[in-house]
Structure 1
């Protein structure tokens, strides 16, 4: 039986972001502590569908997530919290138009917040959905997702960059991650299981050329949170879909070197024992040596918990001789 995080270590504060923001269906929060250590930026998404219904009906095409016009609706919220997690301000987060060549995308999903050369950016996936009316209702015919990078503040004037797929045949390109803060070069992790990553010395502009290779996505553990620095290197949270019909996700702490190579790991865990949980948020308070973890439950709830950094690091007792050993962790 998979342990809950609170069974593995002591959880400090617990914050219900739905109650704090007065937003009943926001989920999958990303979080970063500002450089001055005075407060947090949080980005959340708000779905218009009921993920429990998808799960209970084993709707593998996710037809029940569509609105009456056959579209998928995902909104986003940006909140500013004080160091004590009190709410300072919140606003709708407008996502810029996202295009890759001649293809336009419908919206964005599962955003992370990173700081690159002092600028806050969002790193997330964007989606394009094809649907049709069949049998008296809308059906999902195809969905394409790609990763993108954009400044959190559109006033900074940088155009968002949508990346072409790293794996040439991939319909779904998701869950690339980076370091919480980067100066100079920005490295993006594509696949922890094989230590595949990209690096950019400046904000990328389209078109971005992917390296040539014959690799395909082989499953395994994917990026969830950003990597944050600890004495042992970098710590991050990964996730794995152990089932897709119905969906069941597990998470795991890992210690990595600067180029995302996994050195050690914890046992897999859940946050609250629910099958649908997802973490994209992790930041570190260096002054208190705490990790702040933000995660979603059932695609309609959002939580923040605080952990002692040393307790999370201490969970990573399993040394890995090479990244491919991750494939065997279930």
Structure 2
């Protein structure tokens, strides 16, 4: 069954303003991650060497393999790029190979320095990747750590960083909610709760403080149907103990293209979301916080009911999609 396209498009909400980002001499940029500090706005922008078709598929595998670069840009109050430099990540990795690359970084401020986490691709076909934690000094990576998978997985992506005082943490899994804490070079993992409302959703943006002690973030869900791939997103609010409080309806930013959000920051009046379009454009969207607040809705269905519904659907779905095959398997009959 083809996934439904969300009715909500953020571009139509209130006084939403879209600001395109451009890096001279590098036309294929995407998936920016914006962050704010006392020094102003900064953005980590990824560049790629491939193109997607309208269905989200790579048109032609690039000669020499997939490559990614990253730019660090400084923005003014109108979100225009005033300075930019290509990030020198040559120090990252041991026995580095040409196909090793950093993808989809999330930028944040920690310990009076700029850091980012990104997917460090170790191999393609099959894909093997870890999360790299990197510290910037200017445009150069001067400290890096490859973080082991808490689940022993060969593919790690989309950890959602948050800085809680002096502590660095990540939301590793959205639902059930799992938190990673980084201390003295090691990771600890805690599972908190299951809600049944966001299973199958993954991290997109870092978490930022919202309404005092709460946290606000953007999550995404990948939807595949036949030869078409796309992403939808939600705004999600957690309390200080990372209990799910509210979330928005599913939305796209502008339409049906492949859109992917990797950044979020807040000012006194606005939320700024950063996202890529079709893996070839990088954009920012500025929304009034009043509009953000209007999108967030409390969870009205009790957790027990939600999780029961999810579990029931998971068991019933194969029967609904392929009833004849499932019935033959249950009866022990060979398929014709």
Normalized against structure 2, the TM-score is what? Answer: 0.78
Match of residue 311 from structure 1: 291
Task: Label 1:34 to 1:211 Cα distance change in 2 as closer, same or farther (>3 A).
Answer: closer
In 2, the alpha carbon distance for the partners of 1:261 and 1:243 equals 29
* Unaligned segments of structure 2, at least 5 residues: 192-197, 314-336
Cα offset, 1:67, TM superposition: 2.5
Residue aligned with 2:273, SS: strand
233-242 or 104-113, larger mean C-alpha shift: 104-113
* Unaligned segments of structure 1, at least 5 residues: 131-140
Structure 1 contact 126–148 (Cα < 8 Å) conserved: yes
Alpha-carbon RMSD across the aligned residues, in angstroms, is 3.1
Task: Label 1:51 to 1:171 Cα distance change in 2 as closer, same or farther (>3 A).
Answer: farther
* Counterpart pick for 1:150 among 120, 126, 134: 134
Task: Label 1:145 to 1:210 Cα distance change in 2 as closer, same or farther (>3 A).
Answer: farther
Task: Label 1:212 to 1:317 Cα distance change in 2 as closer, same or farther (>3 A).
Answer: closer
Cα offset, 1:300, TM superposition: 0.6
Cα offset, 1:24, TM superposition: 2.2
Match of residue 239 from structure 1: 220
Q: How many residues align?
A: 296
Q: Structure 1 residue 94 and structure 2 residue 88: aligned?
A: yes
Match of residue 135 from structure 1: none
Normalized against structure 1, the TM-score is what? Answer: 0.79
In 2, the alpha carbon distance for the partners of 1:190 and 1:256 equals 14
Q: Structure 1 residue 301 and structure 2 residue 281: aligned?
A: yes
Match of residue 112 from structure 1: 106
Equivalent runs, 1:6-155 vs 2, <5 Å: 6=10, 9-18=13-22, 23-36=26-39, 39-52=40-53, 55=55, 66-69=61-64, 71-99=65-93, 106-130=100-124, 141-153=125-137
Structure 1 contact 114–122 (Cα < 8 Å) conserved: yes
Residue aligned with 2:53, SS: helix
Residue aligned with 1:99, SS: coil
Cα offset, 1:219, TM superposition: 6.0
In 2, the alpha carbon distance for the partners of 1:323 and 1:96 equals 49
Structure 1 contact 29–45 (Cα < 8 Å) conserved: yes
In 2, the alpha carbon distance for the partners of 1:148 and 1:293 equals 23
Larger Rg over CA atoms = 2
